[in-house]
Chain A
Amino acid sequence: MSEHLTAERISAVLDEPWSDMEAEAHLESCESCRGEYERFSRMRMALSALGELEPPPGQWEIIEERLNVSPYLPPTDVVPIGQSGGWRRLRTWPVQAAAAFALFAGGLVAGVQLTDGGFGDRLAGDPDRLPVAVQPAAFQPGVALDPEDAYYAALTDLDALRSPIRTVDLEHEDGSLNPVATAQALARLNALIMATQAAVERSPGDPVANGMLFQLMEERAAVATRIQESTRLTSVRDW
């Protein structure tokens, strides 16, 4: 072989020298290619030795801020107790929030039962099939329920109530809006918003309920925008 090896071939020989004996033999006799092989080798070593990079300063604060408005995570104020060697959570929100979410959950039951029109046979009218946190027993007076458990259960089940809205296809196969599915989505969003507003009124400082309300209203606005766009394109009779 008299021609020089291509760069790609040298790279391949670097990883699997046994796979190309002809190239190996060429490297033995060609100083130029051998030099290039060595440069490839140095480059590969330098790449594998590249160090880790520092994340941008203040990134954690931004992440924490984003988590504060997440409906999935309640805020916690955790303070260390150095002398005991442990940690104690000083939280006042769970009791208030659990009470708020009890009302919230009650609102959801009513809202879902009143407005459910097709997504949620599993949710409407059958208390045994309702999510735990929205079953009446979960917030009946006298029923002992850990406030934190109630809070988490309500959050988890709220997601179950929202998921049909997220997953249902608002459009027909041809891309036009499905008026029935859209109306049902709006009805469900309205019920969820009313229930969340009740929770916020009961516990105005609860960032989770506020965040949830904000997100639901955004979702409703998005559906409304989609309807507006559609009505520009279709005749009134289609609706």
Chain B
Amino acid sequence: MEEKELVERARAGDRLAMGSLYEAHARRVYTVVRRLVGDEHLAEDLSQEAWVRAFEKLHLFRGEAAFGTWIYRLATNVALNRLRRSSKRTDVEAAAEMPTVVRAPDDAVVNRRVLAAAMDRLPPGYRRVLVLHDLEGWTHDEIAETLSCSPGTSKSQLHKARARMRQMIAPPARAEEARNEL
């Protein structure tokens, strides 16, 4: 069944169509939310919230973009709004703390699990720009528009985030050097 038809059926309350849409896009939605918020339980709640909101607001989806794009943006906004609300500490304060080193076992191989763990430990402001740019492929202009900041700020946050990532995953000797550089 075409996605357009699934959307029409879902809009009319067809639960099977909703389930099909969920099946098709659940991984992408969960992934972006999980990466952005850096917490598994929070990601479960927020991705769930995004889906419920999507089906409740499906009448607002005008089909100008693909449904996948729409739910992806909606979920991203849900996660970013949550980050905005819950950031009690400033990124400067958080960044000033020395992060836990989640060292890769072999410098030549950047282990996925290590990368993911390091991302979770980033200050939220750094993490969201790193995720949107390096993982999700957004441009700095797009990030700046969404986060209401300048492209220059987005770039600066990204480079700080990468530096912090390197600091966390570098082997001890290089990590020491990296700390001195920051």
Which A residues form the contact surface with B (CB < 8 A)? Answer: 4, 6-9, 11-12, 15, 36, 39-40, 42-44, 46-48, 50-56, 59-60, 62-64, 66-67, 70, 72-76, 78, 80, 87, 89
Contact = CB atoms under 8 A, between A and B. Distances in A.
B13 A75 contact: yes
Nearest to A61: B19
A60 to B, nearest CB: 5
Contacts of B130: 47
B110 interface: yes
Given A8-B159, A50-B135, A70 B181 contact: no
Nearest to B134: A47
A64 B29 CA distance: 16
Contact of B13 (A43, A74, A80): A74
Contacts of A8: 156, 159-160, 162-163
Nearest to A62: B48
B110 A76 contact: no
Interface string B126-153: 0000100011010000000000000000
B171 to A, nearest CB: 10
Nearest to B108: A42
A11 B182 CA distance: 13
Contacts of B17: 78
B56 interface: yes
Interface residues of B, number: 51
17 contacts: A6-B163, A7-B162, A7-B182, A8-B160, A8-B162, A52-B28, A53-B27, A54-B30, A55-B29, A59-B26, A63-B52, A64-B19, A66-B48, A74-B13, A76-B13, A78-B15, A87-B16
Contacts of A46: 110, 112, 115
A191 B56 CA distance: 25
Contact of B18 (A53, A56, A67, A74): A67
Contacts of A89: 14
A211 to B, nearest CB: 12
Contacts, number: 125
B13 A39 contact: no
A70 B115 CA distance: 39
B83 interface: no
Nearest to A32: B177
B169 interface: yes
Given A56-B30, A62-B48, 7 more contacts: A7-B178, A44-B134, A46-B112, A55-B29, A59-B26, A70-B56, A74-B13
Contacts of A64: 15, 18-19
Contacts of A56: 30, 44
A60 B16 CA distance: 11
Given A42-B110, A48-B135, A75-B15, A70 B31 contact: no
Q: By CB atoms of chain A within 10 A, which of B116, B135, B159, B174 has the most? A: B159
- Top 4 A-B residue pairs of the complex, sorted by shortest distance between their CB atoms: A7-B163, A55-B30, A11-B159, A46-B110
Contacts of A51: 112
B166 interface: yes
